[in-house]
Structure 1
Amino acid sequence: MSNSTSGGIAQPPILGQKVLRPRQQVEDALRKAVLDGQLRTGDRLPPETELARQFSVSRPTIREALSALETQGLIRKVPGAGGGSFVQAVDHTALGEVVQESMHNLLRLGSVSFNEVAMARQHLEIPVAVLAAQNRTDADVEELRAILSEQKRRTVDDPMIPELDARFHITIARMSGNRILASLVYALHHESEPVGHLDLSPRLGRDTYAQHQRIVDAIANQDPEAAERAVTEHLSYLRDHIRRSMDANDKVPAQPCPTSALTTGISA
């Protein structure tokens, strides 16, 4: 059937489409290859010269497309011999890294306040803990207890302490079964507890370690209400402590960093 107006005059078909720039065409083709699984996590892309040959474009065009994909978190560039452009993991951790970078910049620019980030984290980690208590497996509980054991035996200056603390909270987020929540917790955790504003006292360390234990016990017992109470207690306690420390020292956390240990290997 031909197109026509109400007066019966035939109209020509619309054939035009938006013509993409070569860089955009290359970017779209590579993104599709990643998202369709043609390129998998960890795969190294062909060298720029080979990509330029395959797409019949210049090397600067390839570089622009790769830079755009790197900004989107789909690839990572590794310099030096044996380096190149590698497919980045497209999962909640990758998303969390992108969100974390944006949050970090907002905090440094003063566009949002530290307290806003800390409160957002609390409001996210409460439902995350509830879901973790409902969905956890025996292996999940073993993983959390192993992290607690590692935290307890390490000293305050151990470089593994920030990573263990991140693993504790992010593992619980992963156990929720909601990858979007997990990615947001990942980002907010890294930006909401600047160690420079914590009073690393033995009492604080004992308190927070005991709070971690109560969180794990509630999840292990599959008790969502207890998990909610334990996480609320832990994050409220920590946020209040940081606020008091900041007020006492008249400081503002301009450059957030991961929480470190609070006493003998015990992290927040």
Structure 2
Amino acid sequence: MEPHTRRAARGATAKLIGQKVLRPREQVEEKIRAAILSGELRSGERLPSEAELARQFDVSRTTVREALRSLVSQKLIDKTPGVGGGSFVRSVDHQSLGNLLQESLHNLLQLGNLRVEEVAMLRQYLEVPAARLAAQHRSDEDLAGLQDIVERQKTISVDDPDVPDLDARFHAAIAKASGNRLLASFVHALHRETEPVHYLDLSPEVGRTTVRQHQKIVKAIAASDPDSAEKAVNEHLVYLREHVLSL
């Protein structure tokens, strides 16, 4: 066997023992991140002080401060100033996930990497099955919440400042009633970021049509009729998208 052939053979079978060497700041960051994601540090729990962390990791306070700053940017911890403040593990439940997704979508839309139409179409792909699941799994509390929102929508004018929030709450409540928390997080993020009513010409007629469609959706969910719920929410979302595109 030629020398270069032997070298290639040895390289092909070389045992992998190498691992990326982290700088002190990265090591501190990785250890704390692992403790959060494993549940060792619980949601809302206060981390030790910077001085104590520096002692435990045997690094400078500057190194700890840089690691904590990175974890804040990753939305894993919050830093609260003043007496009683400090670094706290951020809630990582499904609602927080929705907020994180919304922030990411916002950045992508602002940078022009995504079009609003793409997000609106994805909403439809998620909200139609969400309505079907809501008809199958909704609780009495879920139904009461949806009915309260629609009753409020019936009593306000299209220029009321509460219109966007009520619309977002309505769609989020349907996703929540589906029983799938991850689905609810995605719907929350998609709806809050696109805020469809801001793109509509909210004439009184459009407002009345939207509320009627909401009532139809709630009626199907109340009857535990998944086929009707799917059809009703699909008609509603198609109406909204076509109305936006017509403008």
TM > 0.5:
yes
Separation in 1, partners of 2:57, 2:154: 55
Tell whether the 8 Å contact from 1:121 to 1:192 is kept in structure 2 after alignment. no
Tell whether the 8 Å contact from 2:135 to 2:221 is kept in structure 1 after alignment. yes
Separation in 2, partners of 1:148, 1:14: 61
Structure 1 residue aligned with 2:101:
99
Gaps of 5+ in 2: 1-14
Separation in 2, partners of 1:112, 1:141: 34
Per-residue deviation, 1:130: 0.9
Q: Deviations over 1:189-246 (max 9, x none)?
A: 122235443212111111111111111111111111111111111111111112222x
The equivalent position to 1:205 in structure 2, one of 204, 207, 210, is 207
- Give the structure, 1 or 2, with the largest relative contact order (CA under 8 Å, sep 6 or more): 1
> Is structure 2 residue 63 aligned with structure 1 residue 87?
no
The equivalent position to 2:114 in structure 1, one of 102, 112, 115, is 112
> Is structure 2 residue 164 aligned with structure 1 residue 168?
no
Q: Deviations over 1:23-67 (max 9, x none)?
A: 222222222332333332223333323322332222232232223
The equivalent position to 1:147 in structure 2, one of 146, 149, 165, is 149
Deviates more, 1:62-71 or 1:138-147: 62-71
> Is structure 2 residue 57 aligned with structure 1 residue 47?
no
Tell whether the 8 Å contact from 2:158 to 2:203 is kept in structure 1 after alignment. no
2:233 maps to amino acid: V
Separation in 2, partners of 1:20, 1:158: 54
2:50 maps to amino acid: E
**Structure 2-normalised TM-score?**
0.82
Separation in 2, partners of 1:243, 1:151: 24
Tell whether the 8 Å contact from 1:73 to 1:95 is kept in structure 2 after alignment. no
Q: Deviations over 1:103-161 (max 9, x none)?
A: 22222222221111111111111111111111111121112112223333455565544
Do the aligned partners of residues 194 and 175 (structure 1) sit closer, same or farther apart at CA in structure 2, a change above 3 Å counting? closer
Deviates more, 1:170-179 or 1:77-86: 77-86
How many residues in Structure 1 have an aligned counterpart in Structure 2? 234
Structure 1 residue aligned with 2:129:
127
Deviates more, 1:185-194 or 1:81-90: 81-90
Separation in 2, partners of 1:77, 1:211: 44
3-state secondary structure, aligned to 1:237: helix
1:66 maps to amino acid: L
Structure 2 residue aligned with 1:69:
71
Separation in 2, partners of 1:212, 1:181: 20
Tell whether the 8 Å contact from 2:168 to 2:195 is kept in structure 1 after alignment. no
Per-residue deviation, 1:81: 5.3
3-state secondary structure, aligned to 2:44: coil
Identity %: 61
Separation in 2, partners of 1:241, 1:106: 24
Do the aligned partners of residues 15 and 103 (structure 1) sit closer, same or farther apart at CA in structure 2, a change above 3 Å counting? closer
Greater per-residue helix proportion: 2
Separation in 2, partners of 1:199, 1:81: 49
RMSD of aligned residue pairs (Cα, Å): 2.6
Separation in 1, partners of 2:103, 2:228: 33
Separation in 2, partners of 1:24, 1:195: 44
Tell whether the 8 Å contact from 2:164 to 2:195 is kept in structure 1 after alignment. no
Structure 1 residue aligned with 2:232:
230
Tell whether the 8 Å contact from 1:70 to 1:76 is kept in structure 2 after alignment. yes
3-state secondary structure, aligned to 2:46: coil
